[in-house]
Structure 1
Amino acid sequence: MFVPGQRWISTAEPELGLGTVLRVEGRGVQVLFAKAGVLRPYAIDSAPLVRAEFRAGQRVAGKGIAFLVERVEVKDDLLIYRGEGRELHEGQLDDEQSVSQADDRLIGGRTDPVANFELRLDGLQRRADARRSPTWGLGAARIGLVPHQLRVAGIAAARRPPRVLLADEVGLGKTIEAGMIVARQLAAGRASRVLVLLPDTLVYQWFVELLRRFNLSFAIYDEERCEALEQAGDNHNPFEDEQLVIADFGFLEASPKRAQQLLDAPWDLLVVDEAHHLEWTPEAASPRYTLVEQLAARTPGVILLTATPEQLGRSGHFARLRLLDPQRYHDLDVYLAESEQFQPLSHIADKLLDGDALDADQLTHLHTLFAGDDALQACLANPAKPAHARELLDALIDRHGTGRAMFRNRRAGIGGFPQRQPVWHVLDGAALSDDGRQALLAEFHADIQQPVPPLELDYAGDPRLEALVALLDEHPQDKFLLICRSQPKVLALEEALRTRTGAGIARFHEGLGIMQRDRNAAFFAQPDGARLLLCSEIGSEGRNFQFAHRLVLWDLPLDPDLLEQRIGRLDRIGQKHDISIHVLAVAESAQHVLARWYDEGVDAFRHSPADGRELLRRFGDTLAQLAAEHARGPDSRDQELDALLAETRAAHEDMAELIRAGRDHLLELAASRDLHADALERAFRHEDNDPSRDLFVQRLLEGFGIHAEELGSQVLLLDPQYLSTDALPGFAEGPQSVTFSREVALAREDLPLLRLDHPLVSGALDLALSGEHGNAAFMVDDALPPRSALLQAVFLIECVADRQLDAERFLPTQPVVVTVDTKLGEHANFRPSDVALRKAADRTIEVPRYRKFLAKLVPPMLERAETIATLRAQSAIGEATLLATDVLDAELTRLRALHAVNPSISETEIAALADERSALLAALPQARLRLDAVRFVVSADFLSLR
């Protein structure tokens, strides 16, 4: 029964200290953990809380006093502690109190199996190591270790807070980069409320991507959901009902009320995809831009995503940059002038990077730029010297205007992509009836509309079907991915193929549930599984099918970016084969015209066009109209079609040259020279090469009755048949297949990648460590000298601090193990013998029989152990404080130096880091020590002496 003013402890997060009940409403309770600056809402019937009750003989502290409790009184359901002539009401207790009862369990003879103690100790150390790592929150993410993505995520996640524009070329993983930043911010405690704003066509893709890749469960908001929440009757803002929210612009534009509620709700991090659709000019702004501008002004962290090349829309980039930093980017003309200055510097950077000589004008430019800096002027005396070139290049990058706010990676600069090989299947349509031709034209018109209108489809006599069957027969060992516009097409194709081929076929479309889509994709991924996967357009969104290298284009989208998404399912970094793109088209059909435009005008089948969206804007309407007219009468339209293709090709070549010549190489180099650039990749490599982690996780889950069965190929089936608690997440739908291999998880998107930060594993570990499970043990070790008895005490160092400080990167909750003998001497680095640990499970010891001698021996031994542990803890706290000082001082020094030469670094950013440094250096020395577990170890003859 919860009463305001009571003190409770979170068993899931004991490091938060004592919490105070603030409010009890209906089936919910709010608890404030003041020291950590955290307010937690809980459901009363499932709250992971235990009452902080102290008994006679225990020490309590508060209001500057501390004493041993002599008696406890209850008044109005609140506790009053009295002792040594003093009293403390429970509301007056300090937030840090020692509440462990492991010693009581040992003295009382209520011990656990030795294996449980070992598992607990192993879990405590592993959790501390994992929490200290920069991969925390990302370890279980289903992501490949792609260097440029890790660099962007590592750099941005280290910002306080991150306010960045992700502008990588299409196909380089901006969504993954944004997801990594979000996941890291949430795991580190720097953000708790995240809003993702999207065009409605991307809502589902983002929802699945965040859930499947990052184990983040976002709530999709629409009018129906808001109305349902309001009908609950408490008149609160519906957007405050969830911490992680996805909403689409169309829903908000249709309801000013919802838009205002969205603005009124507090957010820590805002993510906006397709940011190039936020229209702005110095004279006016679109409603979407205005909404994002208002949100960005009151939200600490902002992530914007766009694939538009800077050279095709500098005013557009300025509009997005001013959302991130309106003080820095306040004048478009000033920004454009600065941008022009960076182009010659980019050419200089290229020469320095390649070791080429600088011409006289370039040297003069650098002398002017570095005036007053004697070290750099000395480098200019011999810029060809490698060390001097590096210093000059670093100086140029440091002075780059948008290098901290904007990240831009290019496919050509990253490399590692396969070659694309278009394979044409232009089919003779002479045998087609007029009805067949009209059906093709109707299909084309339906394909270029949004949403796709219903259409009667019958492919039994379609020439493309014959070509598809022939392809399957011609390459019997290969897998084929076929992507078409809609779900009805998938069903019609499956029906037509049913009696035409013996190849295994799997389906993937929006009409299937998430689990069924995953199963079908897994069937396609298996070596002996389906050879052909029929996908609607949803299959082009975020999925990784790079184990295949043949893509069949049954139809074509009008949007070049959407075509790139389709090809991107196979054309990925790490693809081991060249990509065969099979283009099926009936000669002189509208689809054929569109295919020719992509091939002869845009060159989209061989390369990834950076200007695809701009070409569509210029020529899309004309193309669609001409394709339809050409299908009706090709002879009269050939000349116009040739002209369109030539005009498109010329525009494409002009824009490609514009992008190449105006490319800001400094912007691309900026990320690789950052202090945080490679730290995340190194940490991932270390985490993935831990051979003992997998066995630990299996032992942990077995403790809850989950049996692991090997299915082969590094896949395990977790069977919850004997699950001992409903509190463990992840088994609502029965047995679950999982993997510990990152490579397998990338190939099989239905398989969770188990790491310590996966919700299933972290939930199990929290359950195991938050209770008494394994915190008291008694064992015999035949390797000990005669008449020996040792007490192993496991203490935890806990730093209770504001979660947004992310103090655990320096000082996670970590175990300190101290072993003392009956003469109070320390046995450093003691560990029971392997033989004793193996025999422990077979030895039956009636520990309650020895309560008297335990009651006599344990207290003084424990007191001595605590004294030793306190000294060790002080040393660990000092090391953590020194590490935090060194790291944050280096960052501050770096920021201040950059501030002197780069206007993108603001005083606000420096002040935020300085404040964080001060708060951390105040919190770390206040870390406390508490007893977590104890184990009594005796020699074989010791028990007979008692």
Structure 2
Amino acid sequence: MFVPGQRWISTAEPELGLGTVLRVEGRGVQVLFAKAGVLRPYAVDSAPLVRAEFRPGQRVAGKGLAFLVERVEIREELLIYRGEGRELEEGQLDDEQSVSQADDRLIGGRTDPVAHFELRLEGLKRRAAARRSPAWGLGAARIGLVPHQLRVAGIAASRRPPRVLLADEVGLGKTIEAGMIIARQLATGRAARVLLLLPDTLVYQWFVELLRRFNLSFAIYDEERCEALDQSGDGRNPFEDEQLVIADFSFLEQSPKRAQQLLAAPWDLLVVDEAHHLAWSPDVASPRYTLVEKLAEATPGVILLTATPEQLGRSGHFARLRLLDPQRYHDLDVYLSEADAFHNLSKIADRLLDGQALDDAQRATLHDAFAGDEPLLSLLSDTTRPEHARAILAALIDRHGTGRVMFRNRRASIGGFPKRLPVWHLLEAATLGEDGRQALLAEFHADIQQPAPALEIDYGADPRLEALVTLLDAYPQDKFLLICRSQAKVLALEEALRTRTGAGIARFHEGLGIVQRDRNAAYFAQPDGARLLLCSEIGSEGRNFQFAHRLVLWDLPLDPDLLEQRIGRLDRIGQKHDISIHILAVADSAQHVLARWYDEGVDAFRSSPADGRELLRRYGESLAQLAADHARGDDNRDQELEVLLAETRGSHEEMAELIREGRDHLLELAASRDLHADELQQAFTREDHDPTRDAFIQGLLERFGIHAEELGGKVLLLDPQYLSTDALPGFAEGPQAVTFAREVALAREELPLLRLDHPLVLGALDLALSSEQGNAAFLVDDALPPRTALLQAVYLLECVADRKLDAERFLPTQPVVVTVDTRLAERADFRPGDVGLRKAADRSIEVPRYRKFLTKLVPPMLERAEALAAERAQASIAEALAQATDTLDAELSRLIALRDVNPAISEAEIGTVAAERTALLSALPESRLRLDAVRFVVSPDFLALR
């Protein structure tokens, strides 16, 4: 029974300290953990809470008082502690109290197997090490360790808060970078509520990407969901029902009421994809831009994603920057002037990188840029000296205007991409009758609409089908990915192919559940599995099929970004083969015209054009009309098509040159100067090569009745047949195949990558450590000298602080293990002998028989152990303080130095880091010890002596 004012402890998060019941409503209870700055809602029936009750003989503290409890009274459902002539109500207790009962269990003879104690201790050590890592929250993410992505994510995730524009070229993984930032913010407690605002066509892609890659389950909001929440009758804002929310612009535009509710809900992090569609000018802003602007004003963290280069619309680029920092980017003309200046400086940087001498005009430009900085000006006399060039280049990078808010990587500079090889399968128009031509035209019209309308499809007589079968027969050892516009096409193709080929076929479309899609993708990934995977446009979003290198384009989307997304399923960093893009088209059909536009106008089959959207804006309407007219056989069709292709090609070459000329090398180099640039790369390098982690995880899961069976190829099957709890996620569908190998998880996206921060492993570890299991043990150690008894006490050193401070990167909750003997001397070098540990499972010891001497020996030994643990704790705290001071002082010094030369460094950013430093240096010394586990260890003859 919960009553406001009572004190409770979270068994899942004991490090939060004592919580206070604030409110009880219906089946819910709210508990405030004030010291940690955390408010938790719980369901009354399943809350992982235990009452903080202290018994006579225990010490309590609060209101500046501390005494041993002599008796406990109850007044209006609240506990009153009395002792030493003093009194404390439970509501007056300090948030930090020692509440362990491990010693009581040991003295009472209620001990666990020694193996449980060993597992608990190892779990505490591993959790502390993992939590300290910069990769915490990302270890189990199914991501390739791509340096530029890790660099962007590491830098952005360290910002307080992150307000950044991710502007990498298409195919370089902006979604992955954003996902890493989100996951890291959530894992460290810097963010709890995240909103993704997307075009409706990207909703499912993001949902799958975040779930499959980052184990983050977002809730997709639409009108139906909001109405269902409204009907619950509690009057709450429906957007406050979930912490992680995806909403699309179209839904909000159709319902001003929902848009206002969205604005009224509090958010910690806002993510907006395709930000280049947010239209703005100094005179007017689109409704979408206005909505994002209001959200950005009220939300600490903002991530915008765009693949459109700023050279294709500098006013639009300015509009995106002003969403991130409206004080810095307040005037378009000023921004354009600064951009021109940085463009000139970027050209100077290119010459410095190439070791070339600067001309007089460039030296004059640098004199103006470095005015008043005599040490830098002195270097301009000889810029060909490498050390001078490096120093000047570093100074230019530090001064870069958008280097703090914008990240842009280019495919050409990243490298590692395969070649794209278009292979045409042009079919004679004569093979089609009039009905066939009309069917193709109807299919084209359906394909270019958004969304595609329903269409009756029969591919039994389609000449493209025969070409597809021939292609499968020509390469019997290869796998083929075929992507088409809709689910209906996938089903029609499967039906038509059923009797035409013996090749294995798998389906992948939005009509299938996630589990079935995973199974079909796994069937395609197996060496002896399906050779052809039929995918719909939406069904394939967010998937990686780079183990294949042949893509079949049955049809083509009108949007160049969608075409790039199709090719991107195979054309990825790490692809070991060149990509063969097989284009199936009937000559002179509308599809053929569209394919020629992509090939001859945009060059989209051989490269990844950055101007695709702009070309579509200019020529899309004319292209669609001309393709339809061409298919009908209208006069002058060939001449008009050639004109359109020539105009498109000219515009493409012009914009490509504009982008090349406007390339901002300084911006690309800016990330390399950040203090956090290489943190993630180094952390993953350490953690992916832990030789004992996998065995620990298997042992942990076995403790809950989950048996692991080797399936081969670094894949294990986790069988929950004897699962002892319903609290572990991941087994709703029965046995679960998993892997510990990153390369296997990347090749087979249905396989979870198990690390300590995976929800399954983290849930198991939290369950194990929040329970009593393993916190009291009794060991007979054959390696001990005769007549020896030792007490091993495991204390937890915890820093109870606001989670947004992320104090655990410096001082995670960590075990302090102290061993003392019966003479109260420390045995710092004690380690249990292998023989004793091996025999422990077979030794049957009736510990309750020895309660008498345990009652006599344990209390003084434990008191001595606590004193020793306190000394060690102070050393750990001092080390954490030194690390926090050095880290944050270096960051502050860097920011203050940058502020003098870079207007993008705001006083608010410096103030946030300074406040964080002050709060951390105040919180860390307040860290406290809590007894977690004890083990009594005796020599074989000791029991006989008793």
Tell me the TM-score normalized by structure 2. 0.99
- Choose 330-339 or 723-732, whichever is displaced more: 723-732
2: CA distance, partners of 1:797 / 1:868: 13
Q: Secondary structure at the match of 1:178?
A: helix
Q: Please give the residue correspondences for 1:204-603 in structure 2 after superposition, counting only pairs within 5 Å.
A: 204-603=204-603
DSSP 3-state at the match of 1:538: coil
CA contact (8 A) 1:102 1:772 kept: yes
Does structure 1 retain, via aligned residues, the 8 Å contact 2:508–2:540?
Answer: no
Q: Is the aligned partner of 1:783 residue 2:757? A: no
Q: In 2, distance between residues paired with 1:464 and 1:109?
A: 77
The residue identity in structure 1 corresponding to 2:837 is: L
- Residue 385 of structure 1 and its aligned partner are, at CA, apart by 2.1
Partner of 2:36: 36
8 Å CA contact 2:204–2:541 kept in 1: the answer is no
Amino acid at match of 1:24: V
Cα contact 1:588–1:634 (8 A) shared by 2: no
Question: Is 1:850 matched with 2:839?
Answer: no
Which string of whole-angstrom CA distances, capped at 9 and with x for unpartnered residues, describes residues 707-746 of structure 1? Answer: 1111111111111111111122222222111111111111
Provide the rounded CA distance (Å) in 2 between the counterparts of 1:284 and 1:902.
30
Q: How does 1:79-228 map to 2 (within 5 A)?
A: 79-228=79-228
Question: Within 5 Å, which residues of 2 pair with 1:12-51?
Answer: 12-51=12-51
Residues in 2 aligned to 1:690 and 1:503: alpha-carbon distance in whole angstroms: 41
Cα distance in 2 for residues equivalent to 1:594 and 1:454: 21
Deviations 1:280-315 (A, max 9, x none): 000000111111111110110011111101110110
Q: Secondary structure at the match of 2:773?
A: coil
Structure 1 counterpart of 2:730, one-letter code: G
CA–CA separation in structure 2 for the residues paired with 1:631 and 1:355: 56
Look up the match of 1:898: 898
Q: Quick one: distance in 2 between partners of 1:752 and 1:431?
A: 48
The whole-number CA distance in structure 1 between the counterparts of 2:362 and 2:729 is: 62
CA–CA separation in structure 1 for the residues paired with 2:296 and 2:931: 45
**Structure 1 position 634, deviation (Å):** 6.3
2:61 paired residue number = 61
**CA drift at 1:829:** 3.0
Aligned equivalents of 1:550, 1:137: Cα separation in 2: 35
Instruction: Provide the C-alpha distance between the structure 2 equivalents of 1:488 and 1:730, rounded to a whole number of angstroms.
Output: 31
Q: Report whether the alignment pairs 1:840 with 2:849.
A: no
> 8 Å contact 1:629–1:637 — kept in the other structure?
yes
Distance 1:388 1:12 in 2: 56
1:649-682 CA distances to partner (integer Å, 9 max, x unpaired)?
Answer: 1110000000000111111111122111111011
1:453 and 1:178 map into 2 onto residues whose CA distance is 33
Quick one: distance in 1 between partners of 2:378 and 2:337? 29
Note the 1:810-825 alignment, pairs <5 A: 810-825=810-825
- AA of the residue aligned to 2:334: V
The answer to whether 1:702 aligns with 2:719 is no
Query: For residues 634 and 497 of structure 2, what CA distance do their matches in structure 1 show?
Result: 31
Deviation string 1:403-439 (CA, Å, 9 cap, x unpaired) is 1111111111110000111111111121211111111
Q: Is the 8 A contact 1:32 1:39 kept in 2?
A: yes
> C-alpha distance in 1, partners of 2:469/2:887?
62
Contact 1:421 1:606 in 2 (8 A): yes
Say which is worse superposed, 228-237 or 28-37, in terms of deviation: 228-237
Q: Which moved more, 1:627-636 or 1:934-943?
A: 627-636
Structure-2 separation of matches of 1:727 and 1:420: 48
Shift of 1:836: 1.2
Q: Is the 8 A contact 2:626 2:641 kept in 1?
A: yes
Give deviations 1:144-185, integer Å, cap 9, x for gaps. Answer: 111111111100000000001111111111111111111110
Verify the 8 A CA contact 2:157 2:181 in the aligned structure 1.
yes
Show the counterpart of 1:656. 656
TM-score with structure 1 setting the length: 0.99
| Residue 371 (structure 1) shift | 2.1
Q: Runs of 4+ in structure 1 displaced over 4 angstroms?
A: none
Structure 1 contact 484–554 (Cα < 8 Å) conserved: yes
Q: Is the 8 A contact 1:197 1:246 kept in 2?
A: yes
**Aligned to 1:851, what secondary structure does the other structure show?**
helix
CA contact (8 A) 1:483 1:539 kept: no
Please state whether the residue corresponding to 1:575 is helix, strand or coil: coil
Does the 8 A contact of 1:556 with 1:594 survive in 2? yes
Residue type at the aligned position of 2:126: R
**In 2: Cα distance, 1:797 partner to 1:90 partner:** 24
How many residue pairs match? The answer is 946
| Secondary structure class of the residue paired with 2:622 | helix
Matches of 1:386 and 1:476 in 2, distance apart? Answer: 55
Q: Distance in 2 between matches of 1:251 and 1:592?
A: 35
Deviations 1:32-86 (A, max 9, x none): 0010111100001110000000000000000001000011111111100111111
- TM-aligned CA deviation for residue 818 of structure 1: 0.7
CA shift, 1:359, in A, is: 2.0
In 2, Cα distance between equivalents of 1:382 and 1:766: 61
CA deviations 1:540-566 (Å, max 9, x no partner) are 411100000000001111111111000
Name the SS of the counterpart of 1:4 in structure 2.
Answer: coil
Question: 3-state DSSP class of the match of 2:45?
Answer: helix
Could you tell me whether the CA contact under 8 Å between 2:698 and 2:708 is conserved in 1? yes
Q: CA deviation at 1:221?
A: 1.1
Deviation at 1:539, TM superposition (A): 4.1
8 Å contact from structure 2 (residues 431, 463) kept in 1 = no
* Partner of residue 666, structure 1: 666
Cα offset, 1:930, TM superposition: 1.0
Q: Is the 8 A contact 2:795 2:869 kept in 1?
A: yes
Aligned partners of 2:178 and 2:5: how far apart in 1? 41
Pairwise CA RMSD of aligned residues?
0.9
1:284 partner letter = V
Q: Distance in 1 between matches of 2:252 and 2:628?
A: 36
1:588-631 per-residue CA deviation (whole Å, 9 max, x = no partner) reads: 11111111111111111000000000000001111111111111
Per the TM alignment, residue 19 of structure 1 is displaced from its structure 2 partner at its CA by 0.3
TM-superposed CA distance for 1:130, in Å, is 0.6
Q: What is the CA–CA distance in structure 1 between the aligned matches of 2:84 and 2:354, rounded to whole Å?
A: 78
Name the stretch that deviates more: 687-696 or 538-547: 538-547
Give the AA of the match of 1:897: A
What letter is aligned with 2:644? L
- Cα deviation for residue 879 of structure 1 reads 0.4
How far apart, CA to CA, are the structure 1 residues paired with 2:574 and 2:854?
61
Aligned to 2:530, the other structure's residue is in SS state coil
Distance 2:588 2:634 in 1: 6
Q: Which runs of 5+ in 2 are unaligned?
A: none
Distance of aligned partners of 1:374 and 1:829 in 2 relative to their CA distance in 1, 3 Å threshold: farther
Paired residue type of 2:461 = G
CA contact (8 A) 1:540 1:568 kept: no
Matched letter for residue 15 of structure 1? E
1:688-837 equivalent positions in 2, closer than 5 A? 688-837=688-837
Give the match for residue 926 of structure 1. 926
Q: Distance in 2 between matches of 1:386 and 1:596?
A: 49
Q: Secondary structure at 2:571's aligned position in 1?
A: coil
In structure 2, give the amino acid aligned to 1:289: Y
Say whether the 8 Å CA contact 2:416–2:574 is kept in structure 1.
Answer: yes
Q: CA deviation at 1:811?
A: 0.3
For 1:770 and 1:342, locate their aligned partners in 2 and report how far apart those are by CA, in whole Å: 55
Secondary structure, counterpart of 2:376 in structure 1 = helix
